[in-house]
Structure 1
Amino acid sequence: MSRERLLFVTGRLAEPSLKVVLQPLAEKVGFDYEIAVLGISVAALMHVNWVQRKLKVPAGVSRVILPGWCTGDLSPLSSQFGLPFERGPKDLFDLPEHFGKSKRAIPPLDDYSIEILAEINHAPRLSEQELLSQAVRYQQSGANVIDLGCIPGETWPGIAAAVRQLRSEGLRVSVDSFDQREVESAVEAGAELVLSCNGTNVDWACKVPAEFVVISDDLRNLDSWNGTIAKLTEAGRSFRLDPVLEPIGFGFAASLQRYFETRRRFPETPMMMGVGNLTELTEVDSAGVNFLLAAICEELQIASVLATEVINWGTTAVREFDLARRLVRHSLQNRVLPKHLGGQLVMLRDPKRRTLGDENLRTMAGQLTDPNFRVFAEGGEVHLMNRDGYWHGSDPYEVFDEMRASTGGSMTAEHAFYLGMELSKARTALTLGKQYIQDETLRWGFLTVDEISALKRRKHRTGESESPTPAVE
């Protein structure tokens, strides 16, 4: 059976890198190929109309792969040449994934088993609008229940109105209080869960038609909640058990052991964990902490957590736990490692990096014939090159100064701003171990905010150059 013969279209600068990628890929996938180098240095500047005029397709080709940045409708090309045309990836190093040899299909991650209660801290201090705004933000981040955190020693006269307001917006509500009047008012207004119940309030709690979170009278003695459990059970009240997660340095490991022991003693009873005692009280980025706690909850079948976003390093904790609970659910259900699932919680670094290598960088720099700058970040250095030279180093300021000294050229404010932006992004990528691609945003997991590249901005400006990289004038 004859092998498919593909034609890969590219520009002059990308040809060496494309050859490096295609040689092993063709053997792995099982196709023959040719490369058509059109008369343009940067493949990103190609447009279908231009390709139509410049391209010659050799005999025997069955399919044509264009650069991912090539713009325009591909159907005229297919009609003219009588062959299927398709866009490849924007980054040619993604070609193996394009051909299905590296990239794994990302599952939808729709399923989860852990309910998130998101606490609005010091809720009585907020206005109605502030309360609603924070509740809606929590819901959009993945919270299932909005928890109203009351203030110990105070009674909140407006709690019933607050609960009714949130319920009218379709939100589920819990209340975090030991004050009888607050709890009764909140439950009457529609709150479904009360945090918390122990020996100090169980007698009146038995008369309140809501579910309760049970905690021990003595956190280090699980037997101390037996009386509370017995009374709630006798009264027909629903409850979930929370052995209470304690901060690092104050009994953290022992508190984890209590969760394991509680599940052993009560294999069918609902449980809850307050994850904020770790995310709020540990000075580290909260995403990894949330993921590990989600894994513990999933394995122990702890079906609810209480999260909050008070401290600055945990201001996306609810969204983090929402993503984490989906990852661990998928992992346990399918008995697979929680890897290759989209990288939404990989924020500081990137799931993978690709580099051109010193030889390819030098080759590319030697082939440049136009004044437009190319920027790269690898090998601990930022690399800046155009037809006038190749400058690289660990300090973007020094690289920029060397370039100006070498070229002696003037530069518009717009061009200087562009290079400053790109060199800054390149330096950040080097510092954190991220992938840098010129004119593309750095990736920050689910926190990524896509930006409009300089290339796209210029393409939308009538009469201006479509060059993605500014030149020294």
Structure 2
Amino acid sequence: MEILVATGKLAEKTVRYSVVDNADVLVLDIEVAAFLTPHRLLSALKKQQKKYDVIFVPGLCSGDFSIVAKELGCKVFLGPKHAYDLSSVLRFVDEIEFSLEVPACELLSDVWRDIALETLDGIEENAEPLMDLKNVKLGGASRMKVMAEVVNATGLGEETLSNRITSFIKKGADIIDLGASLTASSEDVKRAVRVARKVSTVPISIDTLGPELIKAALDEGVDLVLSLNSSNIDAVAAEVSRADVAAVVIPDAGEGFESLVNNIEAARLAGISNIIADPVLDPIGHGITRSIVRYSRFHEEYPDVPVFFGAGNVTELIDADSVGVNATLCGIAADVGSSILFTPEFSEKTRGSISELSTAAKMMTLAKERESSPKDLGIDLLCLKEKRRRPDVEVPEKYVLAQKFAGWELDPLGPFRIGIAADDGSGVIVAQHEEATIVGQNARDIMDTIMRMKLISKVDHASYLGCELEKAEIALRLGRSYSQDDDL
């Protein structure tokens, strides 16, 4: 197949580097590639003797290049927005029908993600699990499942608890864990389980060592008990066995591997058949390495027992962004055969941990399927850093040094108050003016609406608003707070 890539003078070096010898390169007499027009391209191609099957034009071009395709009898597509992505695009030229409306990089992004998700669905459907928890597969070849704890669920009002459970499931929680406070009563536990049952269909667990609270949860039809050890096995084993629910077994406080094994054996002898083992992940600074070794040893010696991995024990006790920490912990969890990833998403710094662990679990499943590292999978957890850096520009010899404008005056049409309404979902930007309040999820749409409604009259005001709206959008994307005029 004969392929041509058309570009401008400024991008020539990057285009040739990306294309290598997989296509010919046509450099037109324009500086910026995005300014290429259909007529200019036709004029240049008529001078070419060679016939091409496919021509890629810059992804940011806006003209109607279908006239080029019609006149030359070949296919013309939008390439990627950035020249360095051409190598990735050209690999798929025989497999994908590109577009004249959607840049190739955006099209491939969707394709790669769709392929990844279809692969995950197939793996999950065909997986033989170690255990089924209310139709949720645990262990085996199935994806690691995310258990999200609602901290102090027994002390929350019905509306608050309902909203929190709903938002956790929306973020990717496969199992909801109801945390019982130290002062919770049996009635508090029953009420929490009833609320959870009302708003969700995912498995529900109760998080307490108290025998009476465990029994109360069992009475309401809870699916999982978290946790059992020598302090409560004798008191609740009969009820757990009779209800035929799963139970997470832990070592006794301060004990290790042998205690866990002994408690699992005691639970089995007491009639509990659906057992999940929690070797307990210790925080950084408190023996995390020893605990990981404990996990590895347990999985090697008891490969048929699903393993519970408490990622929240680490993320809550380190002042670092949770994205990379959760991805790394998820990789370790996969290596030691974990079935459940547990997180409370309690503190502000760990908000987003549920969705992060959910994505990371999918990445590890795909990596295992492909026998590769968790990269180039179609899904990722790159939020602040880039996989490939866009090329920098060179500072010219002559330039004007930017200076702050000191002559700011109030816009006669009035000021705007910018804020974000960040709920447990995606949140929105709120731009309040005396004439109208505009709400949206991205800065461009809000600014376009402000211009269309003629709510602004000064260039410096428009510049200021654009900066603040963009800051608000970035805050939403990163899950951060926002305050107008403060640094992000």
Q: Do the two structures share a fold, i.e. TM-score over 0.5? A: yes
Describe the shift of the 1:234–1:420 C-alpha distance in structure 2 as closer, same or farther (beyond 3 A): closer
Q: Of the candidates 417, 425, 429, which is equivalent to residue 464 of structure 2?
A: 417
Q: Deviations over 1:331-388 (max 9, x none)?
A: 2332212222346312221112132453xx64xx9xxxxxxxxxxxxxxxxxxxxxxx
- One-letter code of the match for 2:9? P
Q: Deviations over 1:364-417 (max 9, x none)?
A: x9xxxxxxxxxxxxxxxxxxxxxxx634xxxxxx53459x9xxxxxx8225643
The question of whether the paired residues in 1 share the 8 Å contact of 2:252 and 2:259 is answered with yes
**1:319 matched to 2:310:** no
2:87 alignment partner AA: P
Matched, 1:306 2:342: yes
* 2:402 is the alignment partner of 1:399: yes
2:173 is equivalent to residue 143 of structure 1:
yes
Question: Shift in Å at residue 195 of structure 1?
Answer: 0.8
The residue identity in structure 1 corresponding to 2:214 is V
CA distance in 2, matches of 1:146, 1:96: 44
3-state SS of 1:185 partner:
helix
Distance in 1 (CA, whole Å) between partners of 2:382 and 2:346 is 22
Distance 1:223 1:44 in 2: 67
Instruction: Find 1:233's aligned residue among 263, 268, 274.
Output: 268
What's the counterpart of residue 390 of structure 1?
A: 399
Question: What is the one-letter code of the residue matched to 1:399?
Answer: A
Give the C-alpha shift of residue 44 in structure 1.
4.3
User: Given the superposition, is the C-alpha separation of residues 328 and 43 from structure 1 closer, same or farther in structure 2, using an over 3 Å criterion?
Assistant: same
For the pair 1:337 / 2:373, whether they are aligned, the reply is yes
The alignment status of 1:200 with 2:231, answered yes or no, reads: yes
1:348 aligns with 2:384: yes
TM-score, structure 1 length as denominator? 0.70
Is it true that 1:247 corresponds to 2:255 in the alignment? no
CA contact (8 A) 2:15 2:83 kept: no
Which residue pairs with 2:439 in the alignment? Answer: none
Deviation at 1:6, TM superposition (A): 2.6
Residue 421 of structure 1, CA deviation: 7.0
Partner of 2:215: 184
The equivalent of 1:224 in structure 2 is 259
In structure 1, the partner of 2:81 is 90
CA distance in 2, matches of 1:305, 1:419: 40
One-letter identity of the residue aligned with 2:399: Y
The 1-side partners of 2:153 and 2:41 are apart by 66
TM-score of the aligned structures, taking structure 2 as reference length: 0.68
Whether the aligned pair in 1 keeps the contact of 2:284 and 2:314 (CA below 8 Å) is: yes
Q: Deviations over 1:209-259 (max 9, x none)?
A: 222111122433433345533332123312111121122222322222222
- Alignment correspondent of 1:16: 9
Q: 2: distance between equivalents of 1:5 and 1:315?
A: 47
For residues 369 and 10 of structure 2, what CA distance do their matches in structure 1 show?
41
- Please report how far the alpha carbon of residue 143 of structure 1 lies from its aligned counterpart in structure 2 after TM superposition: 1.2
User: Are the counterparts in 2 of residues 119 and 149 from structure 1 also a CA contact under 8 Å?
Assistant: yes
- 1: CA distance between counterparts of 2:5 and 2:229? 73
1:69 corresponds to: 60
Cα root mean square deviation, aligned: 3.5
- Alignment correspondent of 2:156: 126
What whole-Å deviation, never above 9, does each CA across 1:23-66 have from its counterpart, x for those lacking one? 3455421x33433346xx755466xxx63588523243524432
Q: How does 1:170-181 map to 2 (within 5 A)?
A: 170-181=201-212
Q: Secondary structure at the match of 1:175?
A: strand
Partner in structure 1 of residue 26 of structure 2: 34
Distance in structure 2 (CA, Å) of the matches to 1:180 and 1:320: 33
Q: What SS is found at the alignment partner of 1:348?
A: coil
SS of residue paired to 2:77 = strand
Q: 2:116, 2:379 within 8 Å by CA — same for their partners in 1?
A: no
Secondary structure in 2 matching 1:269 = coil
How far did 1:121 drift? 0.5
Whether contact under 8 Å (1:219, 1:243) holds in the other structure is no
Inter-partner Cα distance in structure 2 for 1:54 and 1:417: 39
Aligned equivalents of 2:223 and 2:466: distance in 1? 56
Q: How far apart are residue 290 of structure 1 and its match?
A: 1.6
Residues 15 and 84 of structure 2 are in contact (CA less than 8 Å); yes or no, is this contact kept in structure 1?
no
Alpha-carbon offset, residue 87 of structure 1: 0.9
Q: How many angstroms apart in 2 are the aligned matches of 1:140 and 1:296?
A: 25
Given candidates 261, 271, 281, the residue that maps to 2:297 is 261
Q: Is the 8 A contact 2:260 2:279 kept in 1?
A: no
Gaps of 5+ in 1: 366-388, 392-397, 405-410, 426-440, 450-473
CA contact (8 A) 1:245 1:256 kept: yes
Partner of 1:435: none
Decide whether the 8 Å contact of 1:219 with 1:244 is kept in 2: no
Q: How far apart in 2 are the matches of 1:148 and 1:216?
A: 21
Work out the number of aligned pairs and report it. 379
Partner of 1:17, secondary structure, is: coil
Amino acid at match of 1:390: Y
CA distance in 2: counterparts of 1:218 and 1:6, whole angstroms: 68
Distance 1:65 1:130, change over 3 A: same
Cα pair distance change 1:217/1:84, threshold 3 Å = closer
Using the TM superposition, give the Cα deviation of residue 154 of structure 1 relative to its aligned residue in structure 2, in angstroms: 2.7
Structure 2, unaligned runs of 5 or more: 93-104, 124-141, 408-457, 481-488
> Cα distance, 1:122 vs. partner?
0.8
Question: How far apart are the structure 2 equivalents of 1:245 and 1:71?
Answer: 54
The answer to whether residue 116 in structure 2 is matched with residue 108 in structure 1 is yes
Aligned identity (percent) is 26
Alpha-carbon contact 1:155-1:179 (below 8 Å) kept: no
**In the superposition, relative to structure 1, how do residues 213 and 5 fare at CA in structure 2: closer, same or farther (>3 Å)?**
closer
Aligned mates of 2:255, 2:303 — CA distance in 1: 20
Partner SS for 1:304: strand
